[in-house]
Structure 1
Amino acid sequence: MSSKSNHYQSKTAGVILAGGRATRMAYQDKGLVAYRDKALICYAIAALAPVVDQLIINANRNLNTYQHFGWPVVSDTTDSYDGPLAGVYAALLKTDADQLIVMPCDCPLIAANHVERLLQQQLSTQSILTVASDGTQLHPVFFAVRTGLRENLGEFLASGQRKVGDWLAQHSISRVDFSAEADIFTNLNTLNELAQLERAYSHIILK
């Protein structure tokens, strides 16, 4: 359980977004693709689980496989693969927490201390939305959101809109500057990118 959320008398949930089609990765289920002999979803779980009070996996395929990781699995409310916000909305419908931390399944360099920083700023500033930045641009699928925006997000999706950036632009946001560690946002969209990252970090021993 997050000591920070407990300190602020606030409950925090986290969702890992693993519900995409992964068209650039030959339609493989990205969360289950192996990076350094572990499924990508394992790195996201390791980053979120120590920080949040409730962890949710958003997936639209291979649901039984995802359930074996030991956390609740929720699918989008539609079967049309409407993008990351559809997964966020599904998680918001599932949780009774005060805020939800959102992170992708394909950024294995994001660790628990990065999630802690995001949550700490969300709680200390009492922001509606807190979004990670590399100092130059936002990384809009790594953010914390007050669950009171549940209805607003549902209306946004119902209007046919899908872009995360467009939804974020409708609200006042707090930014967390990760420019000193910008490589944590390295995301894996293709098998070639996966191989490149494995070579780049082959000298680091996994714990």
Structure 2
Amino acid sequence: MKTVGILLAGGLSRRFGSPKAFAKIGDDYFYEKVHQALSAVCDEVVIVTRKELVQLFPPELEVVTDHVAVSDKGPLAGISTAMKLKRADRYMVLPCDMPFIGPAETRELLKLVNSKAQVTAVKTEDEKIPLFSIWAGNFSEELEQAIGDEKLSVFDFLNSLETTWIDHWLIHPNKDKFRNINRNSL
């Protein structure tokens, strides 16, 4: 079963103040941590980013921008772009601003995927985490239609699908592992 990793690195990072993909934890960029986590379980990884950031990534990585038809339409556009570019049985999605998720967590999520669901995603006691998730490879047309209709909310889209929410403690007991970094202070 082919699994493609989708590393979302195209957000505007308004609250953060600079591109989150290139923020650092220790000696590593956020995108490097996320790429390592995805590479541990995926056959290949594609980074979806903004045009002005492409040149900042190492040339050996596969880096793309949204297709013109969905450009600047948020995370759903990045997922759609990767699905169109790379055909796969499933896609593991992880944004660059979740650098605490590592290979152990991606392996556990892959073990817990609900093969009958269109999307398997993670939740904590406090929130749902739609972008640490595994998406089946069979509904790219519905995704494209939602984007075309300007229905850009990830939550709304997942609510229209058969989505399974996995409790974080099945993957890692510390819910802080799943936090999204929105401010430039760790």
TM over 0.5: yes
What corresponds to 1:190 in structure 2?
A: 183
Residue aligned with 2:34, SS: helix
Q: Do the aligned residues in 2 keep the contact of 1:18 with 1:104 (CA within 8 Å)?
A: yes
Q: Do the aligned residues in 1 keep the contact of 2:40 with 2:106 (CA within 8 Å)?
A: no
Superposition RMSD in Å? 1.6
**1:26-59 deviations in Å (ceiling 9; x for gaps):** 2x22101222232110110111111100111011
The one-letter code sitting in structure 2 at the alignment partner of 1:188 is: I
Where in structure 1 do 4 or more consecutive aligned residues deviate above 3 Å?
A: none
Cα distance in structure 1, aligned partners of 2:53 and 2:123: 32
Q: Tell whether 2:144 aligns with 1:151.
A: no
What corresponds to 1:52 in structure 2?
A: 42
Q: How does 1:2-151 map to 2 (within 5 A)?
A: 10-26=1-17, 28-60=18-50, 61-66=52-57, 68=58, 70-78=60-68, 81-122=72-113, 125-151=115-141
User: Which consecutive unaligned segments of at least 5 residues does structure 1 have?
Assistant: 1-9, 198-207
CA positional deviation for 1:136 = 3.8
Q: Percent identity?
A: 27
Judging by fraction of residues, say which structure has more helix: 1
Cα distance in structure 1, aligned partners of 2:179 and 2:121: 16
Give the TM-score of the pair, scaled to structure 2: 0.91
Q: How does 1:168-179 map to 2 (within 5 A)?
A: 168-179=158-169
User: Which consecutive unaligned segments of at least 5 residues does structure 2 have?
Assistant: none
CA positional deviation for 1:70 = 2.5
CA radius of gyration, larger in: 1
CA positional deviation for 1:19 = 0.4
Cα distance in structure 2, aligned partners of 1:70 and 1:106: 21
Give the TM-score of the pair, scaled to structure 1: 0.82
